[in-house]
């Protein structure tokens, strides 16, 4: 048995949604005995291993972590295959592949992490799925992230906690969201400059350039997300100041070449708050042109070596365009201009692109 069996039992139990008392009752033992296993003060008796595996909804090999592992590089290949299967054969075929993989490699943290992302993609890929199915996907995402959270894998745990906190806040579970956020360190050291110095001292200029550019690209994305929040009506109710923030976002697009044209989507909402319907319509038209066109290439001066975007690639995936279309058709923020001819033309541009099956 592996040294971290206790943590593994705890992870499987929590992912199953069981308390220590419930697991103890299922096995006919005391709750303190389960607690001792999980803190690794003692190990389960060999006669309890099979019943324990059944109670946790797994098998003996998985419980003892003897199962075949899935190499990290193969995870991405499997996920791409699932997405392509979903596009070509539909929801059931894609989901069948995903669930078989999760069953085959039940302790693979990278697989669980990426599977959660694919389940999120399913909501965009299959908007007509039943509400019950969408709830099942959401619940499974929570279970996958909870497993990673309690499993203690440092490479993935922080992101799992972030996703769980995000889901809790979306469900108005504010106390749970706060507890999860408090599990994360307030400050995580940025090692970019140290890595750059190390590579430069080794005369590895290309590696230094890559680590700096990747970090800059990440920071630009984070800054843009902050600007989105600052422009939100709940944060900045003054529409004029909101428009100034939109201008800052647009200038970042122009300077860094990231998310080109997406600023018009923010402008449209703030223009409507300011009572500028015509300008809002102008922004909607430009926004749709941007998301149905080719992706803007990041500024080569700043990102050419490390950040590679295939020239001619679409600015937004089919799933993203589907989500934008649904937003335009249902979002109350644009309700007052929805019947306008120019708005309808923009909606039709999105619809036509999706009907053509553009990737």
pLDDT mean over 15-41: 87
Q: Where does the pLDDT of residue 139 fall: very low under 50, low under 70, confident under 90, or very high at 90 and above?
A: very high
Question: In the chain, which residues fall in CATH 1.25.40?
Answer: 72-183
The band of 174, judged by pLDDT with boundaries at 50, 70 and 90, is very high
Answer yes or no: are the C-beta atoms of 207 and 241 closer than 8 Å.
no
Start-to-end CA span in the chain (Å): 47
Residue with token string 């600007």: 227
Whole-Å CA distances, 101 to 97, 107, 344? 6, 11, 43
3-state SS assignment for residue 63: helix
Report how far residue 263's alpha carbon sits from residue 268's, in angstroms, rounded to the nearest whole number: 9
Mean pLDDT of the 155-162 span: 88
pLDDT computed for residue 48 by the predictor: 83
Task: Report the pLDDT value the prediction gives residue 1, as an integer from 0 to 100.
Answer: 46
In Å, how far from its chain's centre is CA 72?
18
% of the chain with per-residue pLDDT over 70: 94
Outline which parts of the chain fall under CATH 1.10.260.40.
5-63
Query: Domain 5-63: which CATH class?
Result: mainly alpha
Residue for token pair 């039940």? 106
Confidence check: pLDDT of 17 > 70: yes
* Mean model confidence pLDDT for the chain: 87
The pLDDT, as a whole number, for residue 358 is 46
pLDDT tens digits along 185-210: 877 778 899 999 999 999 999 999 99
pLDDT digits (tens, 9 = 90+) for 40-66: 888 888 888 888 888 887 777 667 765
Pure H helices in 257-340: 263-273, 277-291, 300-303, 318-330
What confidence score (pLDDT) does residue 53 get?
84
Q: Which residues fall within 8 angstroms of residue 222, CB to CB, at 6 or more apart?
A: none
pLDDT at residue 27 in the model:
87
What is the CA angle 149-122-120, rounded to 5?
Answer: 30
Radius of gyration from C-alpha coordinates of the chain? 24
* Residue 304 and residue 328 in contact, taking contact as beta carbons nearer than 8 Å: no
Kindly report the pTM of this predicted structure: 0.69
Structure tokens given for 85: 């299967």
Q: What is the pLDDT of residues 250-259, one digit of tens each?
A: 999 999 988 7
Model confidence at 118: pLDDT above 90: yes
Rounded-to-integer distance, Cα 87 and Cα 5, Å? 40
The tokens for 335 are 């309700």
Rounded-to-integer distance, Cα 271 and Cα 106, Å: 49
Instruction: Give the angle subtended at the CA of 342 by the CAs of 336 and 346, to the nearest 5°.
Output: 100
- Residue 7 contacts residue 151 (beta carbons within 8 Å): yes
Tell me what the mean pLDDT of segment 274-282 comes to: 93
**Token pair in block for residue 163:** 């996703």
Domain spanning 72-183, CATH architecture: Alpha Horseshoe (1.25)
Give the pLDDT of residue 61.
64
For 137, half-sphere exposure in the C-beta direction (CA atoms, 13 angstrom radius) is 25
Neighbours of 105 (CB within 10 A): 21
How far apart (Å, rounded) are the C-alpha atoms in residues 123 and 167?
Answer: 14
pLDDT at 297: 85
Which pLDDT belongs to residue 359? 44
Q: Per-residue pLDDT tens for 70-110?
A: 777 788 889 999 999 998 898 999 999 999 998 888 778 89
């Amino acid at each position: 048995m592996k040294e971290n069996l206790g943590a593994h039992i705890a992870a499987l139990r929590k992912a199953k949604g069981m308390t220590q008392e419930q697991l103890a009752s299922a096995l006919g033992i005391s709750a303190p005995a389960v607690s001792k296993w999980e803190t690794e003060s003692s190990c389960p008796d060999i006669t309890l291993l099979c019943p324990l595996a059944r109670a946790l909804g797994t098998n003996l090999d998985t419980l003892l972590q003897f199962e075949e592992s899935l190499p990290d590089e193969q995870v991405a290949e499997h996920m791409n295959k699932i997405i392509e299967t979903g596009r070509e054969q539909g929801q059931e075929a894609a989901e069948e592949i995903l669930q078989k993989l999760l069953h085959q490699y039940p302790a693979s943290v990278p697989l669980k992490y990426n599977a959660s992302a694919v389940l999120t993609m399913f909501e965009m890929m299959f908007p007509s799925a039943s509400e019950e199915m969408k709830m099942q996907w959401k619940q499974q995402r929570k279970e996958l992230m909870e497993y990673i959270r309690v499993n203690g894998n440092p490479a993935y745990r922080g992101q799992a906690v972030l996703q769980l906190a995000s889901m809790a806040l979306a469900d108005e579970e504010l106390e749970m969201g706060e507890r999860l956020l408090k599990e994360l360190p307030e400050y995580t050291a940025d090692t970019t400059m140290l890595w750059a110095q190390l590579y430069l001292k080794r005369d590895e200029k290309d590696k230094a350039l890559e680590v700096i550019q990747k970090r800059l690209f990440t920071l630009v994305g984070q800054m843009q997300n902050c600007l989105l929040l600052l422009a939100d009506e709940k944060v900045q109710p003054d529409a004029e100041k909101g428009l100034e923030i939109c201008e800052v976002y647009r200038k970042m697009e122009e300077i860094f070449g990231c998310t080109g044209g997406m600023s018009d989507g923010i402008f449209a909402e703030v223009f409507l708050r300011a009572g500028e319907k015509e300008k809002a319509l102008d922004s909607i038209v430009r926004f749709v042109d941007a998301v149905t066109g080719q992706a803007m290439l990041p500024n080569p001066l700043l990102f050419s070596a490390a950040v590679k975007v295939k020239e001619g690639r679409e600015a937004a995936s089919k799933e993203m365009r589907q989500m934008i279309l649904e937003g335009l058709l249902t979002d109350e923020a644009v309700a007052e201009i929805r019947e306008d001819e120019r708005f309808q033309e923009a909606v039709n541009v999105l619809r036509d692109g999706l009907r053509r099956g553009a990737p």
